[in-house]
């Protein structure tokens, strides 16, 4: 790499090479921008693995108002309706924009979109590409466009370790290229680092996704929101490899059902059955397994012989496991799939820190509430990237203050967090396990070792989850099973989360309700 970092001074810096980061970089063109990706583009991005598509009201029988209504129901009272409406109304244009960039979406013989049905949607409104390869196809097109875009300086193999902030305003990014520390002087940074699945043992996310962007933002003083809400996908492939392969719920939309080893369809009597919201299905699968059963996705009757053609990626890994979905039930289990919480932002991506934006899964716009509606996440990333870019461009550009190269934190390793957080913040939670996790995580988060940033993210999530003394959406407490009549988002900073954690560790007083506001 021959890029002279000094030549990049003042350019906006995007941290993250998934769909949100790539789309933001393209939307900023022709303004020169720097895109940091800690690995080769697409190698560690959850977007690349997405099997679901983009939810958009593009069908003749559909309307954004119906899409919004489904989103709000799934969000269990915590959606920001104003933000959600704006994002959803922009979804059809986002699909068209991706098509213009070369994404080969699936179409019917007459050229219209081929629309799929997924859980908790009242209409067929999911636009897919190459069946279950939507994420791969979108990333192919976006990566090609970014590599050809002259205004984007792409720095692969460069990892952001800290944001440099003075007087609540961004002044730069401390990064590492190999063993070489770098300082990128800038007053405009976009965090697009994805989710937190790498903090858990059973996850469909790349193992390196542990909430890096949340740690960067928290240490910079930003407000974070709703970190307790984790979505478990109910049908991850139950096998030995990690991360767990996903079995998209589009298969259930095609008529597949959930059974146990006896052949019992244990979701049959639930409202919505297998197409109930993800949190409902995940809890049902979790509880059935806790009773000693094995759980399977049965696609033998529907889609049956059509499975391989409609879901080529899933069919391939089933064959590698010695299974034919048209003949054999597929073993499944819940796994961490998506994080509804994140850096608190408005729909333009602005955080509470001047010059800091967030986009994609690292952000909390208010679209998803307590439980994300299927296929709303890729859509949100594409839609909001345009608005983030407009906001970044519209910010009056001030010269970054000179930054000194401080101590460089070590590369993070979330390995030691996984069993602890899987136990404390699983599908079903309780006060005692969350308290134990907070006590274990606090000293690690306050340290300077490889576990510090992952522990910090896990600590903030645990503090928020312990504070929410109810069950709502993706947050289910066995000791607080009821849902409170008024839904309130959680909002806190690193300092308030640390103070709450210390109070728990030292006194065991329920002193953290103040983080709910």
Domains of the chain: 5-193+340-394 (3.50.50.60), 235-334 (3.90.700.10), 410-515 (1.20.58.100)
User: What pLDDT is stored for residue 1 in this prediction?
Assistant: 44
* DSSP β-bridge partners for residue 335: 233
Phi then psi dihedrals of residue 176, to 5 deg: -135, 135
CB atoms within 10 A of CB 433: 20
User: What pLDDT is stored for residue 3 in this prediction?
Assistant: 67
Type and span of the H or E element at 74: helix 64-74
Among 7, 5, 12, residue whose Cα is nearest residue 355: 12
CB atoms within 10 A of CB 294: 15
Whether the per-residue pLDDT at 513 is higher than 60: the answer is no
How much is the average pLDDT of 273-284? 94
Phi then psi dihedrals of residue 335, to 5 deg: -150, 150
H helices present in 112-223, as ranges: 134-147, 212-219
Pairing of strands 330-339, 295-298: antiparallel
Q: How far apart are CA 129 and CA 114, in angstroms?
A: 9
Task: Give the range among 4-8, 57-61, 256-260, 288-292 with minimum mean pLDDT.
Answer: 4-8
Give 114-157 pLDDT, tens digit per residue. Answer: 999 999 999 999 999 999 999 999 999 999 999 999 999 999 99
Higher per-residue confidence, 516 vs 102: 102
Give 436-448 pLDDT, tens digit per residue. Answer: 999 999 999 999 9
User: What pLDDT is stored for residue 29 in this prediction?
Assistant: 98
Phi then psi dihedrals of residue 289, to 5 deg: -65, -35
- To the query of whether residue 278 is one of the catalytic residues in this protein, the response is yes
Do 55 and 125 touch, CB atoms closer than 8 A? yes
Q: How far apart are CA 303 and CA 467, in angstroms?
A: 43
Measured in whole angstroms, the distance separating CA 205 from the mean position of its chain's CA atoms is: 9
User: What pLDDT is stored for residue 512 in this prediction?
Assistant: 44
Angle separating helix axes 81-89 and 376-394, nearest 10 degrees: 90
Among 290, 298, 293, 241, residue whose Cα is nearest residue 274: 298
Give 394-435 pLDDT, tens digit per residue. Answer: 987 777 777 777 789 999 999 999 999 999 999 999 999 999
User: What pLDDT is stored for residue 261 in this prediction?
Assistant: 98
Is the dihedral angle over the CA atoms 506, 508, 511, 512 positive or is it negative? positive
Whether the per-residue pLDDT at 20 is higher than 80: the answer is yes
Whether the per-residue pLDDT at 511 is higher than 80: the answer is no
Please give the DSSP secondary-structure letter assigned to residue 77: T
Q: How far apart are CA 51 and CA 138, in angstroms?
A: 11
Q: Give the percent of the chain with pLDDT over 90.
A: 91
Detail the DSSP E strand segments found in 363-493: 363-364, 491-492
Catalytic residue among 278, 310, 333, 491: 278
3-class SS at 502? helix
């Amino acid at each position: 790499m021959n890029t002279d970092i000094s030549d990049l001074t003042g350019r906006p810096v995007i941290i993250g090479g998934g769909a949100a980061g790539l789309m933001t970089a393209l939307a900023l063109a022709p303004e020169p921008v720097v895109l940091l990706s800690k690995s080769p583009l697409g190698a560690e991005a959850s977007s690349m693995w997405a099997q679901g598509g983009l939810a958009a009201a593009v069908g003749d029988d559909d309307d954004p108002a119906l899409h919004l209504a489904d989103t709000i129901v799934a969000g269990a009272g915590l959606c920001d309706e104003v933000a959600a409406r704006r994002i959803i109304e922009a979804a059809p244009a986002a699909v068209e924009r991706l098509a213009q960039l070369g994404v080969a979406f699936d179409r019917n013989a007459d050229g219209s979109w081929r629309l799929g049905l997924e859980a908790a949607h009242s209409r067929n409104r999911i636009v897919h590409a190459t069946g279950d390869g939507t994420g791969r196809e979108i990333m192919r097109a976006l990566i090609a466009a970014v590599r050809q875009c002259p205004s984007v300086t792409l720095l692969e193999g460069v990892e952001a370790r800290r944001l440099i902030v003075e007087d609540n305003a961004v002044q730069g990014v401390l990064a590492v290229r190999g063993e070489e520390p770098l300082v990128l002087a800038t007053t405009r940074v976009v965090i697009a680092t994805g989710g937190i699945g790498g903090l858990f043992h059973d996850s469909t996310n790349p193992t390196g996704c542990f909430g890096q962007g949340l740690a960067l933002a928290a240490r910079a003083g930003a407000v974070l929101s709703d970190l307790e809400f984790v979505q478990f996908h109910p049908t991850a492939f139950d096998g030995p490899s990690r991360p767990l392969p996903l079995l998209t719920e589009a298969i259930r939309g095609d008529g597949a059902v959930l059974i146990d080893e006896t052949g019992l369809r244990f979701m049959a009597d639930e409202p919505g059955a297998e197409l109930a919201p993800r949190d409902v299905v995940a809890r049902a699968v979790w509880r059935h397994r806790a009773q000693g059963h094995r759980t399977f996705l049965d696609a033998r009757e529907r889609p049956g012989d059509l499975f391989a053609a409609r879901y080529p990626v899933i069919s391939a890994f089933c064959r590698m496991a010695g299974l034919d979905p048209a003949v054999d039930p597929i073993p499944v289990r819940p796994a961490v799939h998506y994080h509804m919480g994140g850096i608190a932002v408005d729909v333009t991506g602005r955080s509470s820190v001047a010059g800091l934006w967030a986009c994609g899964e690292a952000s909390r716009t208010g679209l998803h509430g307590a439980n994300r509606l299927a296929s709303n996440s890729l859509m949100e990333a594409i839609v909001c990237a345009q608005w983030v870019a407009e906001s970044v461009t519209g910010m009056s550009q001030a010269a970054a203050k000179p930054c000194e190269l401080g101590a460089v934190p070590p590369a993070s390793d979330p390995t030691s967090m996984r069993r602890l957080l899987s136990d404390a913040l699983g599908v079903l939670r309780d006060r005692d396990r969350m308290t134990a996790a907070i006590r274990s995580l606090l000293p690690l988060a306050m340290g300077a070792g490889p576990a510090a940033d992952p522990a910090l993210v896990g600590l903030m999530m645990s503090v928020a989850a312990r504070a929410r003394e109810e069950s709502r959406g993706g947050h289910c407490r066995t000791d607080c099973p009821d849902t409170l009549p008024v839904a309130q988002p959680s909002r806190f900073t690193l300092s308030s989360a640390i103070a709450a954690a210390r109070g728990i560790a030292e006194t065991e007083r329920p002193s953290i309700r103040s983080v709910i506001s």
